[in-house]
């Protein structure tokens, strides 16, 4: 397996700059997700790698090999699109075997390879069926089998689960992880769905609307330690506060306008932070403890009134309005049949969180 490298890629379509001097490296043999809003250039980047588009400038490498202008059929790269592009007149077996027949392999080799991969995707015994007789999830698995049976060095997945319902999508995400683990091929998964990317990826890149890469890291680090306001807001839900950094003896505080003398205790100062300057911070809704009672043991505490209550079954979402008019979102797990206290509309509540759960953001 070989790594992928995009080096100073620029792509202009109909006079609009889609990608500008983009640099991205994708490690070999990993499940890598490219996450960003619609129109940010994710699919364009994928098409450049597949050879379906040509970059206006820059280089694309597969390992040490420059494939920027290599013909599509010479790249060991396959793609699975939203529309599975299966052959309706062929059986499941023949759809999967198509690439092998193009290679003129012997019949016993084709049969062994197809049967092995049908077993791996849990479609053993379905080889004789017409594509129209399969469910959406089964058709997706056939598309994946056909794309991986030729053992490509890279498998590109462009919003492959967009047409599936929620439960089937969850099942297919697990099957994708299992398949990648079995075939060890580099998977590049393009999506605008943060939950999909967080679920499947070993590593992921976040693209902004202008086509730039905001952050590259593991899903856990991107969620827990977003670097910018865009990443914090785009990946999951969060609360963003703007305030002024103040120096207090041997520690720093974060003063939020409109909350009086109240200051937020923060983790260690970053190199780019200037005392007296404006700073952004993020606190995830599930990191905040909500109660009508006064409690101790937390670094930070603020009060507000309940605006909205949304029940999700496993959790309840509260919208709490602070004294300065800002709204804080809180996710509270419903882990007890009989909670010790009931929180209702217009109740005054206390919000608690630890300084370790405060993430300072670059502008």
- pLDDT tens profile 290-312: 999 999 899 889 999 999 999 99
User: Helix H segments across 201-303?
Assistant: 219-224, 229-234
Instruction: Label residue 175 exposed, middle or buried (CB < 10 Å: 0-12, 13-18, 19+).
Output: middle
Q: What is the location of CATH 2.40.50.100 in the chain?
A: 237-361
pTM, entire model: 0.86
Average pLDDT score over residue span 198-224: 95
Asked whether the predicted pLDDT for residue 261 surpasses 60, the reply is no
Q: What is the location of CATH 3.40.50.300 in the chain?
A: 4-225
b/e sequence 261-276, b meaning 16+ C-beta within 10 Å: ebbbbbeeeeeeeeee
Asked whether the predicted pLDDT for residue 338 surpasses 80, the reply is no
Confidence label for 220 from pLDDT (cuts 50, 70 and 90): very high
User: How far is it, in rounded angstroms, from Cα 48 to Cα 190?
Assistant: 13
In sequence order, what DSSP letters do the residues of 170-202 get, joined into one string?
HHHHHHHHHHHHHH-PEEEEEES-HHHHHHH-S
User: How far is it, in rounded angstroms, from Cα 242 to Cα 109?
Assistant: 63
* Least trusted range by pLDDT, from 59-63, 84-88, 94-98, 100-104: 84-88
Tell me which CATH code domain 237-361 carries: 2.40.50.100
Class of domain 4-225: alpha beta
């Amino acid at each position: 397996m070989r790594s992928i490298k995009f080096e100073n890629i620029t792509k202009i379509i109909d006079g609009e700059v889609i990608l500008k001097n983009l640099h991205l490296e994708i490690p070999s043999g990993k499940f890598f997700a490219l996450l960003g809003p619609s129109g940010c250039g994710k699919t364009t980047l994928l098409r450049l790698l597949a050879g379906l588009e040509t970059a206006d400038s820059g280089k694309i490498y597969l390992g040490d090999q420059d494939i920027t202008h290599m013909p599509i059929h010479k790249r060991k790269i396959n793609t699975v699109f939203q529309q599975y592009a299966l052959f309706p007149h062929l059986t499941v077996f023949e759809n999967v075997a198509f690439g092998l027949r193009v290679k003129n392999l012997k019949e016993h080799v084709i049969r062994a390879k197809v049967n092995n991969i049908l077993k791996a995707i849990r479609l053993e015994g379905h080889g004789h069926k017409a594509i129209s007789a399969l469910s959406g999830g089964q058709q997706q698995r056939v598309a994946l089998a056909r794309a991986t049976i030729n053992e490509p060095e890279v498998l590109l997945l462009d919003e492959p689960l967009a047409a599936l319902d929620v439960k089937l999508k969850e099942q297919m995400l697990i099957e994708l992880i299992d398949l990648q683990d079995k075939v060890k091929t580099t998977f590049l998964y393009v999506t605008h769905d943060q939950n999909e990317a967080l679920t499947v990826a070993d590593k992921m890149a976040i693209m902004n609307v202008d086509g730039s890469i905001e952050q590259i890291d593991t899903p856990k680090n991107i969620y827990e330690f977003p670097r910018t306001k865009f990443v914090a807001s785009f990946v999951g839900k969060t609360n963003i506060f703007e305030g002024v950094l103040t120096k207090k003896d041997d520690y720093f505080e974060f003063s939020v306008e409109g909350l009086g003398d109240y200051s937020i205790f923060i983790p260690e100062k970053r190199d780019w932070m200037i005392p007296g300057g404006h700073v952004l911070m993020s606190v995830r809704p599930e990191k905040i403890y909500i109660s009508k009672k006064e409690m101790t043991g937390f670094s930070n505490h603020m009060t507000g009134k309940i605006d909205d209550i949304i029940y999700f079954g496993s959790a309840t979402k509260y919208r709490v309005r602070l004294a300065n008019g800002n709204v804080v979102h809180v996710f509270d797990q419903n882990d007890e049949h009989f909670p010790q206290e009931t929180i209702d509309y217009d109740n005054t509540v206390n919000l608690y969180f630890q300084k370790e759960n405060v993430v300072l953001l670059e502008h």
